[in-house]
Amino acid sequence: MTKIETDHHDGTSDATPGGYEGQRRPGELVFGALLTLASLVLLWDAWGIENTFGPNGLSSPRAIPLATTLVMVIAAAVILLKDMRLPRVTGETVMKDILPTTVIIVAVLLVAFGVLLKPLGFLPTSALFLIATIKLLGDRGWGWTIGVALACLVLIWIVFRIVFTVLMPAGIVPEAELIQVVRNLFEGAK
Amino acid sequence: MDAVLAFLTVFTHPELLLLVGLGTFAGVYVGAIPGLSVTMAVSILISFTFSWDVHPAIALMIGIYMGGVYGGSRTAILLNIPGAPSAIATALDGYPMAKRGEAGTAIGVTTVMSFIGGFIGIGVLAVAAPFVSDFALKFQPRDYMLLAVLGILLVGSLSTGSLVKGIFAGALGIAIGAVGRDPLTFSERFTFDLPLMQGGISFIAVMIGMFGVSEALMQLHHVNKDAVRQQISRIVPSLSTVKKHLPLSVQTSAIGVLIGALPGTGGDIAALMAYDHAKRVTKNPERPFGDGAMEGLVAPETANNAAVGGAFIPMMTLGIPGDAVTAIMIGALFIHGLNPGPMLMIDQPDMFWFIVGALVMANFFMLLFGLTGIKLFTKIVEMPRSVLIPLIMLLSIVGAYAVNNSLTDVYWMLGFGFFGYFMRHYGYPLGPVILGVILSRLLDDNWRRAIISEREDLGRFFHGVFTSPLSTVLFIAVILIFVSQTPIWAKAKAKLLGGSGQGVEQ
């Protein structure tokens, strides 16, 4: 198959998955080992699936899970063994090319988003998240950062709350009341 | 007559027309912005259109799909970053053209050729799908099972990267799809005795995580790169250029439809094969291939848009997706209570014709938006990544939450996002995971149906496989994919072809 060489070996787009042929990237062995281990755990778990209604034969609920996890174990082991024999890519480190500080910080921010979403509500959490990440990535002044973040948030909120009627946790902001106030204003104008 | 009326649904409802247009418009730009992909857009949109009626939801998603397949070519031409897998081949000659300052011409030709390819694909879909669906009624459960395995394997083997990694990804997908209570016996599978796992893992969370968050995290590596400014001039191509390449475009469209119609293969493979074909049949290109040959643009672009129509054939008639995007489209149909498969054509033929109509409309909109609005386009593409990436992440979270109003889904989504990030780094394809998740149920159900009807006897099962021509062909195809990746195959090939071994694809 024709392959294109771009400067992006790291799966920048769906079209070009990362990894190198004939070389292994830093951390690839650890990842491979973890996958093998996880597959083994899943295989063990699949073996324990019991058929409530009959024997654990070929048509029981364990058949396909057992088969797929077995395939996973074999595939993961093959990948791991192959990787062990490959030379490591020179000049790449985990901290620089796989998991730079920015990625770790953003990942933590994402988890924090999930944790705060319920108690704090969608609007304040999103505002904090957007301001923090845009400031971190954009390296611009606070005025610009907060302005852009809030403008985007308002736009997203209007589109999704009004057009798509997606309900997010309201938290500390009385969203429904606000919308009602605005509605009342327009009602009053009639 | 009913078919005609259903086909015209889109044209007679202004709001549906508007949605297809809006979707196509969004698709073109989503496909064109580096860092946003169609797969990402469609998977996030599923969750937002969840509460809508089926018609408007499908209209919007079809627009995005059609526009996105085309839009991916833009970044391939301008930045040498294919916006979608189907645009990989487009970059080969498109980028050299752009470097010479012919980006406008390249985009113009791409647009018109995508339009032609799109039409041929839709035409074939409209004619062939009813026949395929009649034929599909004769399929045994074991045939469905084999088709599902074949689809996952094909995605794994033909996308870039190694087959073993593809197989791992596919198996992982099937396992993820099996989590929760088994629908037939109510046994718990992979729940680890956690009540929260009993309902299974929402496939939308998996999709958004893998294609939204993981891609956004990937983009963090390139956040400091400036958006590339391109001078784009006139883009409407001359009639003579179109005429000159018409014969080639018809051939490559045919390749596109055919490849698209195979389960497990979609626009990306079609585009690469068409590119190879163009290389072989074009005797005297104005410029060599790889250096900005017009034929190198025409072939993949007609093929990948023709593959859209082609990919809808197995998707609608068998319920088996062609690639990650069609897998997500199947998910969308499921969510709206439709069951893609041979019965869809019998129970709800109007739905089929509605989709065909929407595709036709999306194709027109694609031509319109492709040839206009170039100023707006350059502005949008220059949107700073430091704003774009946080927005994608925010949308992913909202999307994952919106379907079930559940925080658990958000955590699953983030988990799969982080996992997908590492998979991308180490060259594991993500497409097979999604295909596995979508096909897990179909595979499981049909395997059990097949083996129960053979009284749980493997001997009888294989006897059945080899006495039915269809099952035999499918079974051999599955085996061939495995063998083709082993050293034995390479040796045999070398022997047969006397060491030249060139004509056979991977």
* Per-residue pLDDT at A35: 96
Lowest-pLDDT range, A41-50, B21-30, B76-85? B76-85
A5 within domain boundaries? no
Asked if the model's pLDDT at residue B392 lies above 50, the reply is: yes
Structural domain containing residue A124: 100-188
Closest approach of chain A CAs to the CA of B54, in angstroms? 14
Which of B186, B386, B431 faces A138 most closely, judged by CB atoms?
Answer: B386
Report the percent of chain B where pLDDT is more than 70.
90
CB-based contact B448 A59, cutoff 8 Å: yes
Residue of B80, B92, B145, B168 to mutate when probing chain A, most A C-beta within 10 A: B168
Phi/psi class of residue B455: alpha, beta or left (left: φ > 0; alpha: ψ in -120 to 50)?
left
**Where among A94, A118, A153 does a domain terminate?**
A94
- Domain spans of chain B, in order of start: 1-145+238-403
For residues A89 and A104, membership in a common domain is answered with: no
pLDDT tens digit sequence for B53-71: 888 988 998 999 888 888 8
Sequential DSSP letters for B276-316: HHHHHH-SS-SS-TTS--THHHHHHHHHHHHHHHHHHHHHH
Does position B422 have pLDDT exceeding 80, yes or no?
yes
Using H for helix, E for strand and C for coil, what is the string for chain A?
A: CCCCCCCCCCCCCCCCCCCCCCCECCCHHHHHHHHHHHHHHHHHHHHCCCCCCCCCCCCCCCHHHHHHHHHHHHHHHHHHHHHHHCCECCCCCHHHHHCCHHHHHHHHHHHHHHHHHHHHCHHHHHHHHHHHHHHHHHCCCHHHHHHHHHHHHHHHHHHHHHHCCCCCCCCCCCHHHHHHHHHHHHHHHC
pLDDT tens, position by position, B127-152: 998 888 888 888 888 988 888 888 88
Cβ <8 Å between A111 and B414 = yes
Residue B440 has pLDDT above 60, yes or no: yes
Identify the pLDDT of residue B322.
72
Contact A13 B421 (CB under 8 A): no
Instruction: List the single range of A69-78, A137-146, A169-178, B473-482 with lowest mean pLDDT.
Output: A169-178
Please indicate, yes or no, whether residues A43 and A108 belong to a single structural domain of this protein. no
Closest-CA residue of B relative to A9 is: B425
Contact at CB, B430 and A14, closer than 8 angstroms: yes
Distance CA B265, CA B255 (A): 12
* Among candidate residues B351, B348, B266, B268, the one with its CA nearest the CA of residue B309: B266
Residue B307 or B154, more confident:
B307
Same structural domain, A84 and A105 = no
Structural domain includes residue A10: no
CA distance B382 to chain A (A): 14
Hey, is B343 helix, strand or coil? helix
Using a CB-CB cut-off of 8 Å, the residues of chain A touching B72 are 15
Average pLDDT over residues B175-181: 92
Q: Does one domain contain both A80 and A147?
A: no
The structural domain count of chain A equals 2
Q: In this predicted structure, what is the pLDDT of residue B413?
A: 93
Residues A85 and A113 in one domain: no
Per-residue pLDDT, A9: 38
Query: Of B168, B219, B411, which is closest to A75 when you measure between CB atoms?
Result: B168
Local confidence band at B401 (pLDDT 50, 70, 90 cut-offs) = confident
Question: Does B178 contact A64 at a Cβ distance shorter than 8 Å?
Answer: yes
Contact A152/A126 with Cβ under 8 angstroms?
Answer: no
Pick from A94, A116, A150: which residue ends a domain?
A94
- Per the confidence metrics, is the pTM higher than 0.90? no
Q: pLDDT higher for B301 or B6?
A: B301
**A12 lies in some domain:** no
Same domain, A130 and A78: no
Indicate the residue among A75, A94, A113 that finishes a domain. Answer: A94
**Residues in A touching B390 (Cβ below 8 Å):** 129-130, 133-134, 137, 149
Q: Is residue A134 part of a domain?
A: yes
Residues A77 and A126 in one domain: no
pLDDT tens digits, residue range A44-61? 999 988 887 778 788 888
- Which residues in chain A have Cβ-Cβ distances shorter than 8 Å to B276? 2
Q: Which pLDDT score, from 0 to 100, does residue B13 have?
A: 87
The ipTM estimated for the assembled molecules is 0.88
Q: pLDDT (tens digit, 9 = 90+) per residue, B216-230?
A: 898 888 776 655 556
So what's the pLDDT on residue A4?
Answer: 36
Residue B166: per-residue pLDDT = 86
Q: B395–A20: do the CB atoms touch at under 8 Å?
A: no
**A62 in a domain, yes or no?**
yes
- What pLDDT sits at residue A15? 43
Q: Mean pLDDT throughout B397-406? A: 84
Q: For residue A54, is it within any domain?
A: yes
The pLDDT score that the predictor gives to residue A112 is 95
Q: How far is B171 from chain A (nearest CA, A)?
A: 5
